Chains A and B, each alone.
Chain A
Amino acid sequence: MAETTDILVEEPILEVRNLQTSFFTEKFEVKAVDGVNFAVPKGKTLGIVGESGSGKSITSLSILRLIKNPGKIKGGEIIFKGENLLDKTESQMRQIRGNEISMIFQEPMTSLNPVYTVGQQISEAFIIHQNMSKKEAMLRSVEMLELVGIPSPKQRVKQYPHELSGGMRQRVMIAMALACDPELLIADEPTTALDVTIQAQILELMEELQDRLGMSTIMITHDLGVVAETCDYVAVMYMGKVVEYATVKDLFKNPKHPYTVGLLNSLPRHDIDLGEEDLTVIQGSVPAPDQIPEGCRFAPRCPFASDICQERLPHLEQSEDGNQIRCWIYTDEWDGDPEVNVNGKRTS
């Protein structure tokens, strides 16, 4: 059975097919991204969720081909506007980075260069991609700072990163990423390092700008709350593989993969009272890279795992509603309890 690649979206701006990125140590190969498929619909937001080490950040860096040694993109296709980014030359990629595809990083405190002013750093994007003069670029930088809601942008543009707060720096990062009007924005945990109140502001800003500029977004996060708030589609990743791909609505209403269910159950909820045991946890932890299970990667931690799960890796399969799931329970080959109940509702 072939891996499903034609995804429910009619008009994807980005399609990732069977992407494989590995890190090579002297002893073994760590498959950080191990055959990932997903698509980002035009103008929509795709969330990629998973625990630390699930490969979500490496996936995003792979899209821009920013994987450094000893990491390597081993195979697959990254189709952006009909062209495979993995076939591009390095200089063609530079034309795309920061211009057509931009990225925002997790750590606003360390992601800005401490020895250049905010204005110089935003200007650089204009100078590289739009051949602007320094002066012109600086004027546009002021406009960008204004766009991302930084007060007195004319003064701020001359300041150095250490003179700004974390939230301000993340706004600067956003301004820098959006400078050249990208068609795709990759946000790698953009709010993780920020205070909760600032988190909401930044998410709101990103959503507002996305609407205004009509770009597509990949939102990488471990926070399902962020997903619920900002995304249209979600890909759940576990150990370098997508285990579930669905619309946000379906995912929260009817999660299918036991891992997704586990993630959702570990969220604090205020709509139902769980009594003493407020939160449930997913038992165990992500296995070490040299102890990858042979069958389903999640089997050792899965409360429903049966024999077939230990032996063979399930495929990512598309159901009638267009969502995708990588789990034996939803196949004809399922050898466990036929009445298995994954999320509290009958799955039949």
Chain B
Amino acid sequence: MFTFIVRRIIQTIPVLIGVTILTFSMMHLIPGDPAQIMAGESASPDQIELMRDRLGLNDPLPVQYFDYIRGVVTGDLGNSIRSGRAVSNEVFLRLRPTIELAVYSTILSVFIGLIAGVFAAVRRGGLADSFVMIVALFGLSLPNFWLGLMLIQYLAIGIDIFGINTGWFAASGWGTWQQQVLPVLTLGTAGAAIIARMTRSSMLEVIDQDYIRTARAKGVKERVVIYRHALKNAMIPVVTVVGLQFGTLLGGAVLTESVFAINGLGRLMVDSIRARDFPIVQGGVLIFALLFVFVNIIVDVLYKFLNKRIDLN
């Protein structure tokens, strides 16, 4: 198991190199001259040239890339244009709400998705099945930001129903649970819908397998057949989806944080893109990529636990 994890971590190195190349090229792909942007619109050609020199933009590209890598490895991601502070500092300060948001949303979507999926699969073709699948389709189709706004409207600002105001939760910020409920719901809904659909189809496939019949022929209770014999097998493809889903979730976090005014990494990036503060954007993308890779290592380990047919070596 240990060697498996170590190997899996080593395997991520090429991925990370790819990511650094991408983030590095961002600087060169954005329209306009970075030196011009950094020096400001009223800068003279001399000032811009000075800035080019300072940024190392006159060096050959490979040299620039290795300078950048050297920085990344030592934790130096450059300085923010706006604040002048180190990017690594700015990014890490904002990381916590984003990770919390992503993790809570994942937990919510796995929890609801699994229950709804199994529920629908066991009642295949029935009314309950159709109902769950229609709700899931809605959950999947609702745009994230719209759902967030609706939740704010009805559950934060609230409406009066029979004299009860439904404004139970906070509309912005991150810290208390009242502030966390709506963003997590907003971000978790689509994931829950995807996982519910995935679990359902996976369960339907597993339920028709011979080993399920064997379990029944052994005298196993139907509930145990479903949760012990079927679900553990059905989880295997679902776990993969959860890992991939995490990437979508990070993307969704950018929107959700904006809607709920959460001071997370996503919002920092949106603000930085607006302000052309690309060292921050670069750093943020790199951190997102790291998070995604890390979560997928966890998923692979989990997958290994579930699927005994995968050989460790």
A contact residues vs B (CB 8 Å cutoff): 64, 66, 94-99, 102-103, 105, 107, 110-116, 124-125, 128-129, 160, 162, 173, 176
Count A/B pairs, Cβ under 8 Å: 67
B184 → A minimal CB distance (Å): 31
Residues of chain B lying within 8 A (CB to CB) of residue A98: 217-220
B307, B308, B309 — most chain A CB neighbours (10 Å): B308
Interchain CA distance A119-B149 in the complex, whole Å: 54
Asked if B313 lies at the interface with its beta carbon under 8 angstroms from chain A, I say: no
Contacts of B233 in A (CB 8 A): 113-115
A105 pairs with B220, CB closer than 8 A? no
Interface with A: B127-135, B166-174, B205-213, which one?
B205-213
Q: Can you name 23 A-B pairs with beta carbons within 8 Å?
A: A66-B213, A97-B216, A97-B218, A98-B217, A98-B218, A98-B219, A103-B217, A105-B213, A105-B214, A105-B217, A110-B209, A110-B210, A110-B211, A111-B210, A111-B214, A112-B214, A113-B214, A113-B215, A115-B307, A116-B229, A125-B218, A160-B309, A173-B214
B254 CB-CB contact with A under 8 Å: no
B309/A114 in contact, CB under 8 A: yes
For window 224-257 of chain B, which residues contact chain A by CB distance below 8 Å?
229, 232-233
- Say yes or no: A114 contacts B308, CB within 8 Å: yes
> Which B residues between 260 and 313 are near A, CB-CB below 8 angstroms?
306-309
Tell me the interface secondary structure of chain B in the complex.
helix
User: B54 at the A/B interface (Cβ < 8 Å)?
Assistant: no
Query: A160 CA to B305 CA in the complex, in Å?
Result: 13
A105 to B217, CA, bound (A): 10
Contact of A66 among B217, B229, B306, B309 (CB under 8 A): B217
Question: What is B's interface to A at a CB cutoff of 8 Å?
Answer: 209-211, 213-221, 229, 232-233, 306-309
Indicate if the CB atoms of B211 and A112 lie closer than 8 Å: yes
- Complex Cα distance, B307 from A113, in Å, reads 11
Q: How far is the CA of A99 from the CA of B217 in the complex (A)?
A: 9
Are B308 and A115 touching (Cβ within 8 A)? yes
Contact check: which of B214, B219, B232 meets A99 at CB < 8 Å? B219
Interface centre among B213, B221, B233, B307 (most CB of A within 10 A): B213
**B309 closest partner in A (C-beta):** A162
Q: Which residues of B contact A64 (CB under 8 A)?
A: 217
The answer to whether B308 and A111 have CB atoms under 8 Å apart is no
